[in-house]
């Protein structure tokens, strides 16, 4: 029974699956690796081919992309939750090798997860598109892999594209990254060309794991999922020691302690229990743990009775970088939203939420996410899987507010900003960004970064026609639409990657929106003082289009500190008449009226103005022109 | 009588050359004949609803003639070009439906007949004569019945009009839309102002003493002064029309106009200009003795269109021909929109039967009645539903009065509109307030907004 990612992690051992005598497996026959690539360069497809080629599943059983379990991931063409698969490969030397492929998320929101997945590997296959060459994420991922001392070898994918230039890309890899690439396999993952060579190189070039099975247990958690029957399933790489059923384990950072009820390894889409996991292996542990909060990615699992001397390096507590308010469109659904968030949280340690109340939107939650993609994924899951109609307020970052009384507030909701007189200074998160762009667009991309308050750090040419721009950018300038703006200003050629750098002082103000003279808390946002006017003006324009006409004129104002800086007016309704009634066809006309009435239901009452729910997301679309 | 389907050529041509969406839809729907209704059920509707109990009760007849010489660019009605064979086959089917329906409705008193379309005048006049003959033969048409036919000025001769008059048609509704050549061309109309004037004179000469002229405002690119020209030309006709329907153009989805508008080829009239035209209509027509009795309809006293008032007052009406809608004894139903199945079985096409719940009847009472400037009558409401209008709609009524969209008419207000035969003057009411509510001028402008609130 395939494991579908959300429920029913069935323990059915697939009857016709290959059984591998995992116990006593020679470490030298194990390869733990990941595939790294820029988005769309073919990582998931190569993973599928590898699984197919090693014969664990028949082609018929293959879903289009075995590793991407969630629907959402498939639609977006990215992988969100790290997972792993174990396959068996009989190499040309006649030996059977166990290949543990650990999948890594391909989005900057999940950089920390990526780093933990990499730490679980001994090597990485770098996939580069034969037509596009190196992109920003290629570099970022390679550097991340090298930082973790992984042996990286390149693979040139999509060689069957008419625009493929493998030789140019090989040279680029050697020049820019400094990786030996002359013998890189030239493959087409899509069409199954060259997969065998990739597998051979995995065996040859990626080192076997090390570690002493007899040492105290030290295992790295690189992912965990919650199952309603089994509790949390911890995905880990055993660095030292051995774990088996009955071992009482302890998570070194969170302190959670449980007895192991089962260990095993990953088939493609299913779980195979086994006797024990020992140093060098990748597998899962189940221990009746109730919450993924207790099994944080990056934490170290050890034997409670015989703990290792110290945890593995690199653990960080996951922090939400982006916050927004989520409210049920129908106030009566508040308990449903709460239950849904609770359930999602079981499986997603990086999701935070706490109840909040808005004058405009009623009861809801302030939710914290790793980034905007994470936010969108959660939002979509709430809407799709839990059938909730949501009103989401503009996402914002976490600001640090230093008050004159010495207090420091981490501000996640603009409405909670103290009075300016009580604020000594404010800080906002800043990222270091790398943008790869062809030379013709350098100008427009620099302009974009400038507009977004970027600080230019430098530029280097990767090759004659492409450059890598380095900028420091405030996070709140890039969370909504920076990526889209980047794409549109470079005709899709620019690629982008970033790392959170830290907090910096900034001149920030709260921009308030008044509809018909009434301040709407859910529309307030924090903005740099210099862009307040521009953002306020566009916000008013946007809202003017979103708010339907009423019987009276409605002023829409943007204000900073009580001072109005921009204004638009929704004119009073003038005409709303039915057309000629055709042959007494009343039913049709009634349907029209019903539609109109239905539309009103999806409105929020603010004072005596009805505001459509999507207006609360207006701020996200300020750059649509 | 029904011809084989293969001999029928239902030629649907949009002169614009745009893909004909309706055509595809109609053909497609041929396969879903009788959908939603079992055979016995449809048999039942064909024979009529509650026939035994309604003898002598008033009934209006509507005949749908879905043929046009060519389709106007703004039109989303069920109509298309038809060749002579198709028209003949259709009219035979319509006559069959008329005769067949008489089994159930023949004993009703027919107070109004409306032959609409499409373009009834695009069909040979002998069929109109036969239609009227059938009505007289199978139903009891009252002496003073209003019998209207829609006419396109580009399609009639004086002879044809005389024959129509002799056949018992006593009111014509002539589609002019505009008196300006460039506007007529823009709309895709087939006639000129001169042809209209000719037709109008011929109608008077044929003895028609009750004429309506349709005009349109808010045409793309139309200015107030251009619109005024149409109004004035109509009013300066020798013996001006008794009735004027003045519609503001609405871009309906699926029409070439809508597509052009979406493609940015047409510029919708600015809202202020649109309202100015509306005000102008009311002002100018008022000066000439017309009163606005419905959102888009103006008439000299006593010349209000009885048939249309019947729709707003929820009189029983039976629609015959494809796509025609009916309301009988608080049951709404309609004929299917497909031509071919209709030709094969004209009595077997009734579908979408829906018995209105009391609540739906109340809603209709309000949102239809409020189209009339004489408004809705609380006493009538109580008589029909056994409870007060304000018990059901109190908050909505009060809110709209507060918003200046609705008003309670002063006592005896209906007396000022003596021409209305479809009021309910008979109903007694308490002294004091009249219990009669009507939209204000602004409410008429925003009628959708108001009426949507009356849905329970």
Distance CA B46, CA B348 (A): 6
> For B338-347, what is the mean pLDDT?
93
Residues of chain A in contact with residue B78, where contact means CB-CB under 8 angstroms, are: 582
Is the Cβ–Cβ distance between A501 and A431 less than 8 Å?
yes
Confirm or reject contact between B317 and chain A (CB < 8 A). Answer: yes
The pLDDT score that the predictor gives to residue A270 is: 67
Confirm or reject contact between B426 and chain A (CB < 8 A). Answer: no
> For B16-22, what is the mean pLDDT?
32
Confirm or reject contact between B274 and chain A (CB < 8 A). Answer: yes
pLDDT one-digit tens code per residue, A100-124: 998 877 666 777 888 888 899 999 9
Distance CA B265, CA A84 (A): 56
Confirm or reject contact between A575 and chain B (CB < 8 A). Answer: yes
Question: Does the structure show a pLDDT above 70 at B172?
Answer: yes
> For B260-264, what is the mean pLDDT?
85
The pLDDT score that the predictor gives to residue A315 is: 81
Distance CA B117, CA B131 (A): 15
Confirm or reject contact between B326 and chain A (CB < 8 A). Answer: yes
Q: How confident is the model at residue A385 (pLDDT cuts 50, 70, 90)?
A: confident
Q: How confident is the model at residue A60 (pLDDT cuts 50, 70, 90)?
A: very low
B53-75: b or e for each residue (b if 16 or more CB lie within 10 Å)?
ebeeebbbbbbbbbbbbbbbbbb
- For residue A578, give the chain B residue with the closest CA: B448
Residues in Cβ contact with B209 at an 8 Å cutoff, skipping those fewer than 6 apart: B170, B242
Q: For the CA atoms of chain A, what is the radius of gyration? A: 27
pLDDT one-digit tens code per residue, A244-288: 999 999 999 989 899 999 998 877 566 777 889 999 999 999 988
Q: Among A58-67, A290-299, A562-571, whose mean pLDDT is lowest? A: A58-67
The pLDDT score that the predictor gives to residue B48 is: 47
Distance from A602 to chain B by nearest Cα, in Å?
Answer: 15
Residues of chain B in contact with residue A575, where contact means CB-CB under 8 angstroms, are: 248, 271, 274-275, 278, 445-446
The pLDDT score that the predictor gives to residue B51 is: 47
Residues in Cβ contact with A471 at an 8 Å cutoff, skipping those fewer than 6 apart: A432, A433, A435, A449, A454, A455, A456, A457
Is the Cβ–Cβ distance between A36 and A141 less than 8 Å?
yes
The pLDDT score that the predictor gives to residue B9 is: 31
Distance CA B255, CA B74 (A): 6
Q: How confident is the model at residue A15 (pLDDT cuts 50, 70, 90)?
A: very low
The pLDDT score that the predictor gives to residue B439 is: 95
The pLDDT score that the predictor gives to residue A55 is: 58
Cα-flanking dihedrals φ and ψ of residue B354, to 5°?
Answer: -145, 115
Residues of chain A in contact with residue B116, where contact means CB-CB under 8 angstroms, are: 583
Is the Cβ–Cβ distance between A242 and A278 less than 8 Å?
yes
Q: How confident is the model at residue A14 (pLDDT cuts 50, 70, 90)?
A: very low
Q: How confident is the model at residue B53 (pLDDT cuts 50, 70, 90)?
A: low
Distance CA B285, CA B68 (A): 30
Question: Does the structure show a pLDDT above 90 at B376?
Answer: yes
Distance CA B66, CA B87 (A): 9
- For residue B334, give the chain A residue with the closest CA: A585
Distance CA A471, CA A497 (A): 11
Residue in this structure with the two tokens 């020992």, named with its chain if needed: A278
Nearest to A596 among B245, B363, B448 (CB): B448
Question: Does the structure show a pLDDT above 90 at B115?
Answer: yes
Residues of chain A in contact with residue B405, where contact means CB-CB under 8 angstroms, are: 551
Query: First vs last Cα of chain A: how many Å apart?
Result: 49
Q: How confident is the model at residue A290 (pLDDT cuts 50, 70, 90)?
A: confident
Nearest to B447 among A578, A594, A597 (CB): A578
Confirm or reject contact between B322 and chain A (CB < 8 A). Answer: no
Residue A295 is classified by DSSP as: S
Q: Do B319 and A584 touch (CB under 8 A)?
A: yes
Q: Whole-number mean pLDDT of chain B?
A: 84
Q: How many CA atoms lie within 13 A of A99 on its CB side?
A: 33
Confirm or reject contact between B247 and chain A (CB < 8 A). Answer: yes
Residues of chain B in contact with residue A592, where contact means CB-CB under 8 angstroms, are: 448
Give the rounded percent of residues in chain B with a pLDDT score beyond 90: 64
Which of A100 and A348 is assigned the larger pLDDT?
Answer: A100
Confirm or reject contact between B455 and chain A (CB < 8 A). Answer: yes
> For B391-396, what is the mean pLDDT?
94
pLDDT one-digit tens code per residue, A470-480: 999 999 888 87
Confirm or reject contact between A601 and chain B (CB < 8 A). Answer: no
Q: Do B368 and A578 touch (CB under 8 A)?
A: no
Distance from A597 to chain B by nearest Cα, in Å?
Answer: 6
Q: Do A576 and B445 touch (CB under 8 A)?
A: yes
Q: Do B271 and A575 touch (CB under 8 A)?
A: yes
Give the rounded percent of residues in chain A with a pLDDT score beyond 90: 41
The pLDDT score that the predictor gives to residue A395 is: 86
Distance from A565 to chain B by nearest Cα, in Å?
Answer: 29
Confirm or reject contact between A572 and chain B (CB < 8 A). Answer: no
Nearest to A579 among B250, B354, B452 (CB): B250
Distance from B57 to chain A by nearest Cα, in Å?
Answer: 19
Strand partners, A215: none
- For residue A576, give the chain B residue with the closest CA: B446
pTM of the model: 0.66
Q: Do A577 and B311 touch (CB under 8 A)?
A: no
Distance CA A432, CA A201 (A): 34
The pLDDT score that the predictor gives to residue B427 is: 42
Q: What is the dihedral sign for C-alpha A351, A356, A359, A361?
A: positive
The pLDDT score that the predictor gives to residue B75 is: 83
The pLDDT score that the predictor gives to residue A621 is: 63
- For residue B320, give the chain A residue with the closest CA: A583
Residue in this structure with the two tokens 């009226």, named with its chain if needed: A593
The pLDDT score that the predictor gives to residue B70 is: 85
pLDDT one-digit tens code per residue, A126-184: 999 999 988 877 887 888 888 888 999 999 999 999 999 999 999 999 988 888 999 99
Confirm or reject contact between B403 and chain A (CB < 8 A). Answer: yes
Confirm or reject contact between B311 and chain A (CB < 8 A). Answer: yes
Residues of chain A in contact with residue B325, where contact means CB-CB under 8 angstroms, are: 583-587
Which of A9 and B213 is assigned the larger pLDDT?
Answer: B213
Confirm or reject contact between A586 and chain B (CB < 8 A). Answer: yes
- For residue B402, give the chain A residue with the closest CA: A551
Is the Cβ–Cβ distance between B180 and B216 less than 8 Å?
no
Cα-flanking dihedrals φ and ψ of residue B247, to 5°?
Answer: -100, 150
Distance CA A290, CA A283 (A): 19
Residues of chain B in contact with residue A584, where contact means CB-CB under 8 angstroms, are: 62, 311, 317, 319, 324-327
> Is B66 strand, coil or helix?
coil
Distance from B410 to chain A by nearest Cα, in Å?
Answer: 25
Residues in Cβ contact with B336 at an 8 Å cutoff, skipping those fewer than 6 apart: B29, B33, B322, B323, B342, B349, B350, B351
- Which residue from A593, A581, A583 is spatially nearest to B363, judged by alpha carbons? A593
- For residue A548, give the chain B residue with the closest CA: B449
Distance from B431 to chain A by nearest Cα, in Å?
Answer: 33
Q: Among A66-75, A434-443, B15-24, B113-122, whose mean pLDDT is lowest? A: B15-24
> For B68-75, what is the mean pLDDT?
84
Nearest to A576 among B317, B368, B446 (CB): B446
- For residue B116, give the chain A residue with the closest CA: A583
- Which residue from A393, A537, A562, A546 is spatially nearest to A554, judged by alpha carbons? A546
DSSP string, A141-183: HHHHHHHTT-EEEEEEE-TTSTT--HHHHHHHIIIII----TT
> For A219-235, what is the mean pLDDT?
84
Distance CA B32, CA B338 (A): 10
Return the number of other C-beta atoms located less than 10 Å from residue A21's C-beta.
8
What's B115-176 look like in SS3? EEECCHHHCCHHHHHHHHHHHHHHCEEEEEEEEEEEECCCCCCHHHHHHHHHHCCCEEEEEE
Q: Do B325 and A573 touch (CB under 8 A)?
A: no
| Interface probe with B: pick from A574, A583, A595, A608, most Cβ of B within 10 Å | A583
Q: Whole-number mean pLDDT of chain A?
A: 83
Q: How many CA atoms lie within 13 A of B450 on its CB side?
A: 32
Residues of chain A in contact with residue B447, where contact means CB-CB under 8 angstroms, are: 576-578
The pLDDT score that the predictor gives to residue A104 is: 79
Q: How confident is the model at residue B371 (pLDDT cuts 50, 70, 90)?
A: very high
Distance from B306 to chain A by nearest Cα, in Å?
Answer: 13
> Is A249 strand, coil or helix?
strand
Q: Do A586 and B325 touch (CB under 8 A)?
A: yes
Residues of chain A in contact with residue B364, where contact means CB-CB under 8 angstroms, are: 586, 590
| ipTM of this predicted structure | 0.78
Which of B394 and A7 is assigned the larger pLDDT?
Answer: B394
């Amino acid at each position: 029974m395939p494991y579908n990612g959300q429920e029913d992690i069935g323990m059915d051992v697939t009857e016709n699956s290959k059984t591998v005598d995992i116990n006593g497996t020679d470490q030298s026959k194990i390869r733990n690796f990941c595939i790294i690539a820029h988005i769309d360069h073919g990582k998931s497809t190569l993973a599928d081919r590898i699984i197919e080629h090693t014969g664990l599943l028949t082609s018929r059983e293959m879903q289009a992309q075995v590793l991407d379990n969630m629907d959402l991931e498939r639609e977006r063409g990215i992988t969100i939750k790290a997972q792993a698969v174990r396959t068996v490969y009989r190499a040309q030397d006649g030996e059977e090798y166990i290949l543990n492929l650990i999948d890594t998320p391909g989005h900057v929101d999940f950089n920390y997860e990526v780093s933990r997945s990499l730490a679980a590997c001994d090597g990485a296959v770098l996939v580069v598109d034969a037509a596009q060459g190196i992109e920003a994420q290629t570099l970022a991922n390679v550097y991340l892999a090298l930082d973790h001392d992984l042996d990286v070898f390149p693979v040139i994918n999509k060689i069957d594209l008419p625009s493929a230039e493998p030789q140019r890309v090989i040279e680029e890899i050697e020049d820019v990254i400094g990786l030996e690439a002359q013998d890189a396999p030239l493959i087409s993952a899509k069409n199954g060309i060259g997969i065998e060579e990739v597998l051979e190189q995995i065996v040859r070039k990626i080192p076997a794991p090390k570690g002493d099975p007899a040492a105290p247990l030290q295992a790295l958690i690189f992912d965990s999922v919650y199952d309603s029957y089994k509790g949390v399933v911890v995905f880990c790489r055993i660095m030292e020691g051995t774990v088996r059923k009955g071992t009482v384990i302890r998570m070194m950072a969170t302190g959670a302690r449980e007895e192991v009820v089962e260990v095993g390894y990953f088939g493609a889409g299913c779980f195979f229990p086994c006797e024990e996991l020992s140093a060098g292996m990748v597998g899962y542990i189940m221990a009746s743990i109730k919450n993924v909060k207790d099994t944080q990615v990056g934490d170290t699992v050890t034997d409670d009775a015989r703990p290792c001397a110290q945890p593995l390096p690199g653990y960080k507590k996951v922090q939400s970088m982006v916050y927004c308010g989520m409210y049920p469109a129908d106030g009566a659904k508040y308990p449903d939203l709460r239950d849904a968030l609770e359930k999602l949280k079981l499986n997603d340690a990086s999701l935070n939420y706490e109840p909040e109340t808005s004058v405009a939107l009623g009861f809801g939650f302030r939710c914290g996410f790793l980034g905007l993609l994470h936010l969108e994924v959660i939002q979509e899951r709430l809407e799709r899987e839990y059938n909730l109609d949501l009103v989401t307020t503009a996402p914002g970052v976490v600001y640090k507010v230093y008050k004159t009384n010495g207090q420091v507030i981490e501000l996640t909701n603009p409405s909670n900003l103290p009075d300016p007189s009580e604020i000594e200074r404010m800080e906002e998160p800043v990222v270091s960004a790398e943008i790869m762009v062809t030379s013709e667009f350098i100008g427009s991309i620099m302009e974009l970064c400038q507009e977004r308050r970027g600080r230019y750090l430098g530029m280097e040419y990767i090759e004659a026609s492409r450059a890598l721009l380095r900028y420091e950018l405030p996070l709140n300038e890039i969370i909504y639409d920076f990526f889209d703006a980047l794409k549109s200003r470079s005709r899709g050629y620019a690629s982008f990657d970033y790392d959170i750098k830290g907090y910096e002082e900034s001149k920030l103000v709260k921009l308030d929106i008044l509809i018909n003279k009434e301040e709407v808390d859910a529309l307030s946002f924090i903005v740099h003082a210099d862009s307040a006017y521009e953002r306020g003006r566009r916000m008013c324009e946007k809202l003017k289009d979103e708010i339907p006409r009423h019987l009276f004129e409605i002023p829409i104002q943007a204000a900073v500190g009580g001072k109005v800086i921009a204004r638009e007016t929704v004119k009073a309704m003038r005409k709303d008449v039915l057309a000629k009634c055709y042959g007494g066809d009343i039913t049709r006309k009634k349907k029209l009226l019903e539609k109109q009435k239905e539309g009103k239901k999806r409105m929020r009452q603010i004072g005596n103005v009805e505001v459509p729910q999507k207006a609360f997301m207006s701020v996200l679309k300020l750059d649509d022109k | 009588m029904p011809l084989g389907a293969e001999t029928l050529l239902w030629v649907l041509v949009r002169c614009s050359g745009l893909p004909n969406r309706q055509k595809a839809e109609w053909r497609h729907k041929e396969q879903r004949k009788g959908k939603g209704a079992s055979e016995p059920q449809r048999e039942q509707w064909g024979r009529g609803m509650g026939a035994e109990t309604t003898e002598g009760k008033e009934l209006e007849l509507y005949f749908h003639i879905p043929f046009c010489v060519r389709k106007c660019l703004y039109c989303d009605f069920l109509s298309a070009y038809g060749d002579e064979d198709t028209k003949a086959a259709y009219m035979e089917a319509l006559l069959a439906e008329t005769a067949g329906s008489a089994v159930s409705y023949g004993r009703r008193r027919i107070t109004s007949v409306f032959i609409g379309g499409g373009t009834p005048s695009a069909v040979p006049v002998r069929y109109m004569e036969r239609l009227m003959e059938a009505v007289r033969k199978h139903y009891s048409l009252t002496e003073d019945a209003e019998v209207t036919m829609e006419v396109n000025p580009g399609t009639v001769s004086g002879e044809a009009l005389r024959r129509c008059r002799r056949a018992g048609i006593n009111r014509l509704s002539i589609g002019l839309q505009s008196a300006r050549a460039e506007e007529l061309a823009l709309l895709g109309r087939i006639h000129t102002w001169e042809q209209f004037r000719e037709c109008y004179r011929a109608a008077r000469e044929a003895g028609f003493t009750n004429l309506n002229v349709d005009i349109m405002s808010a045409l793309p690119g139309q200015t107030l002064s251009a619109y005024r020209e149409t109004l004035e030309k109509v009013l300066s006709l020798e013996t001006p029309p008794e009735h004027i329907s003045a519609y503001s153009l609405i871009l309906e989805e699926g029409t070439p106009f809508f597509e052009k508008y979406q493609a940015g080829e047409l510029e919708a009239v600015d809202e202020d200009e649109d309202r100015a035209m509306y005000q102008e209509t009311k002002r100018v027509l008022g000066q000439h003795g017309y009163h606005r009795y419905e959102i888009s309809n103006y008439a000299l006293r006593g010349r209000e269109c009885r048939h249309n008032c019947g729709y707003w007052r929820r009189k029983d009406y039976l629609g015959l021909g494809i796509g025609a809608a009916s309301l009988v004894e608080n049951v709404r139903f309609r004929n299917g929109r497909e031509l071919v199945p209709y030709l094969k079985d004209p009595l077997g096409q009734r579908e979408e039967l829906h018995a209105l719940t009391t609540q739906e009847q109340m809603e209709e009472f309000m949102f239809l009645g409020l189209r009339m400037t004489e408004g809705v009558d609380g006493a009538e409401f109580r008589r029909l539903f056994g409870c007060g209008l304000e018990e059901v709609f109190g908050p909505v009524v009060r809110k709209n009065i507060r918003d200046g969209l609705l008003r309670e008419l002063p006592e005896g207000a209906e007396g000022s509109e003596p021409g209305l035969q479809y009021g309910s003057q008979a109903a007694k009411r308490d002294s004091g307030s009249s219990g009669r509510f009507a939209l204000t001028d602004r409410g008429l402008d925003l009628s959708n907004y108001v009426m949507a609130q009356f849905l329970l």
